[in-house]
Structure 1
Amino acid sequence: MLDSIKVRQASFRAALLPDRSECPVRRRILSCVSLVCAGALLAGCATGDGEADATSEVITSIPSFADVDVSPTPRDLTGEINLALNSEEPEPVTDNPTQKLPVTLKDNQGTRVTVKTADRILALDQYGTLAQITYELGLGDALVGRDLSTQFSQAKDLPLVTHNGHELNGEAILDLSPDLIITDTSLGPWDVVEQVRDAGVPVVVVDSTRNLDNTADLINQVASALGVRDAGKALAQRTADEIAAVRAVIDRKAPTAVQDKLRTVFLYVRGQSGVYYMFGQDSGADALISATGAYDVSKEIGWKGMKPLNDEGLVAAQPDTIVMMTKGLESAGGVDGLLERYPSLANTPAGEHRRFITMPDSQILSFGPRSADVLNALAVAMYAPESL
């Protein structure tokens, strides 16, 4: 099969190369068209994965929320906190998963795909979640390349197949002769995916929605494509158990009365592109905020989905805490730059107290096997920052 794929790949390189060199504007438009999909705003307009220099000290040593003393008045806390999960190596649920291939399945777009082999895998998405899942299913050795957001230690030396941030590079993909690509619609341009598929490489498109409720489904979709359904069930259960354990601690230790909860919003910013959004209901960020025990303001003010930020929304929200991606805050010129662009923000508790919590773009909304770690980190920052 590999030889036949290589023959067909060669015939498509000429089609891919002109598209990459002659149509940069078209590529950008195609990438940004995916804004209509949940989470896809993050695909076309981002320029990095959040691992670059931070505006404040990066905190990677994060204790368990179960072991810290929470502040009696978390709404009075002040200061910026820049978090990042450490590069802890993923732990496969099995070292030798039993693959049952070939498998024929219908992917998330309704496309019927037959996977005959999975010896050379590319698992690509905005957050590196799909590569992380593949590794934790016990098939890390089959990964032959990575996207920019795949940062765990075992994969960092793999060749990149994205450029200019999160744009798929068709030539780089074909050069690796993959026999399977697992992706979603969070990366673009989509015509590269179609051309690679036409070159004979099976492409399985999984759900692009990212929230705590569909983490198990996402894991099982990847496992099905790889022919390791049993390992998928085991990883989904382990991840669910870890999330449940952290949430139980948060429910026990975080404020329970509505008036004591941290009024929280999630801002998505790409200052260099003039992109300033507040994420609301059904964006995934609302589920993240609620899971940390904070008060998701978006429901109260009727802020649905992902909408451009405005002064009226900020004034209505009156957040105590603002959660952001690290690169997003950096691109706005830090807290000072954001306050300058939106003066009304200075009149909110979060602005007055400079209460901003950031995490890398590749982590905070990834909703994958490390979701429990993300929740734990945010909970510590929200309620026990002195422990950091």
Structure 2
Amino acid sequence: MFSIDRSRARRRGSVLALLMATSLGLAACSGTADAGGDAAAAAAGPHLADVTPLADPHTFVGPSTARLAESDVVPVATDPRPQLPVTVTDAQGTSVTVHDTSRILALDLYGSTARTVVELGLLDSLVGRDTSSQFPEVAHLPLVTANGHELNAESILDLAPTLIITDTSLGPWDVVLQMREAGIPVVVVDARRSLETVGDLIRQVGAAVGLPDEAELLAERTQERIDRTEREIAEVAPPAGEGLRTIFLYVRGGSGIYYLFGQDSGTDSLITGLGGIDVASEIGWTGMEPVTDEGLIAMQPELVLLMTKGLESTGGVDGLLEAVPALASTPAGENRRFVDMADTEILSFGPASADVLEALAVAIYAPGATAVAE
């Protein structure tokens, strides 16, 4: 059983979904069927233990791209036996009884729900995927989202799922309601994502598929990997209180969207986990708001994290600095200190969180070991 502040989750999920839908619309215009598919095909990055870190990350000049190191998905169980039927109260307070997990759709904005199902040992039960689920094990499955992150009712019904696990980050919501009316059990999990909520998400998904014990094992394993990676990062990052002043920008140049993510957006935990100083939270910037010149000048960031397609949409570093002139007057702009990562990876808080942290840490603290793009 799990519960959540319903209005807050839906509000945050809907805003971020709108922004991300713009992201996928950008990809569609460029002729890319699966936004982020290029990330799946990109060369893997190195592990943090295999690189030589910068002597002083504050003085490095130039952008870099974070790439996940090669890592296989290793389920916590090879032949899991779901305890069914199971009844859960989902994140919206709805009581849902699940009788059959043989045909699962696990759908969200981040791809983390599907990844969780796979790592619980139910890969063969997945019958489709969302646009964000790009990892190799599920890349062959048919898409049930269109025009970015828009749920397609016909595609979903064609797959005859016996269980749908989703959250409020995808829409239109009428499609979710339609699936329930069609008699399909739909379990809505918490839409909030951060390093702090990873274990909760895993447990919620595990409860929905009747694998609470396996979920506990996976949550513990995931947290251990996050803790270990954060310790490794601490060894190459500046001492506490002296980290890089960092912000996360969500940009879509073609649409004129420039958002700064702050406290309670999830990126605050990501920045802290990377050994940085989350300056948006430092000045009280909460959630996701349009960036302002005053805000950037007040923050004086040394490092900017972005999604790869967002940076591309502005024409690269030069285009971004031209579109946001105030950024050029910050240490990050002066040193062209921008780190981007695939749209479907950088905020995919879930079982792969430690891999994302490691890839970003390599790009930040050993940028010569990553592919550098202007």
Partner of residue 375 from structure 1, selected from 347, 354, 357: 357
> 2:43–2:67: 8 Å Cα contact kept in structure 1?
yes
Q: Which amino acid aligns with 1:46?
A: S
| Alignment match, 2:127 | 144
> 2:35–2:131: 8 Å Cα contact kept in structure 1?
no
| Alignment match, 2:236 | 253
* Alignment map for 1:199-348 (pairs within 5 Å): 199-258=182-241, 260-348=242-330
| RMSD across aligned positions (CA) | 1.9
After TM superposition, give the deviation of residue 64 of structure 1 in Å: 2.7
Give me the whole-angstrom Cα distance separating, in 1, the residues matched to 2:107 and 2:85: 21
Partner of residue 36 from structure 2, selected from 46, 51, 56: 51
Give me the whole-angstrom Cα distance separating, in 1, the residues matched to 2:70 and 2:51: 22
Give me the whole-angstrom Cα distance separating, in 1, the residues matched to 2:73 and 2:48: 21
Give me the whole-angstrom Cα distance separating, in 1, the residues matched to 2:85 and 2:36: 38
Q: Which amino acid aligns with 1:263?
A: R
| Alignment match, 1:16 | none
1:90 paired with 2:67, answer no
Q: How many pairs were matched up? A: 352
Q: Secondary structure at the match of 2:197?
A: helix
> 1:220–1:236: 8 Å Cα contact kept in structure 2?
yes
> 1:43–1:188: 8 Å Cα contact kept in structure 2?
no
Alignment deviations for residues 317-373 of structure 1 (CA, whole Å, 9 cap, x no partner): 111110001111112222122111111111111111111101111111111111111
Alignment deviations for residues 77-99 of structure 1 (CA, whole Å, 9 cap, x no partner): 11111223256441111111121
Give me the whole-angstrom Cα distance separating, in 1, the residues matched to 2:204 and 2:334: 44
Give me the whole-angstrom Cα distance separating, in 1, the residues matched to 2:112 and 2:220: 17
Identity rate, percent: 55
Q: Secondary structure at the match of 1:376?
A: helix
Alignment deviations for residues 23-62 of structure 1 (CA, whole Å, 9 cap, x no partner): xxxxxxxxxx8556574454443315652669xxx97443
| Alignment match, 1:181 | 164
Give me the whole-angstrom Cα distance separating, in 2, the residues matched to 1:348 and 1:310: 13
Q: Structure 1 residues 208, 38: closer, same or farther in 2, change over 3 A?
A: farther
- TM-score, normalised by the number of residues in structure 2: 0.89
Q: Secondary structure at the match of 1:138?
A: coil
> 1:80–1:354: 8 Å Cα contact kept in structure 2?
yes
Q: Which runs of 5+ in 2 are unaligned?
A: 1-9, 28-33
Higher helix share: 1
| Alignment match, 1:14 | none
After TM superposition, give the deviation of residue 157 of structure 1 in Å: 1.1
After TM superposition, give the deviation of residue 138 of structure 1 in Å: 0.3
After TM superposition, give the deviation of residue 301 of structure 1 in Å: 1.9
> 1:43–1:187: 8 Å Cα contact kept in structure 2?
no
Give me the whole-angstrom Cα distance separating, in 1, the residues matched to 2:218 and 2:16: 23
Q: Which amino acid aligns with 1:327?
A: K
Q: Which runs of 5+ in 1 are unaligned?
A: 1-32
Give me the whole-angstrom Cα distance separating, in 1, the residues matched to 2:67 and 2:206: 27
Partner of residue 132 from structure 1, selected from 106, 115, 123: 115
Alignment deviations for residues 281-328 of structure 1 (CA, whole Å, 9 cap, x no partner): 111001100100011111222211111011111111111110001111
Alignment deviations for residues 7-31 of structure 1 (CA, whole Å, 9 cap, x no partner): xxxxxxxxxxxxxxxxxxxxxxxxx
Q: Structure 1 residues 53, 117: closer, same or farther in 2, change over 3 A?
A: closer
Greater radius of gyration (CA): 1
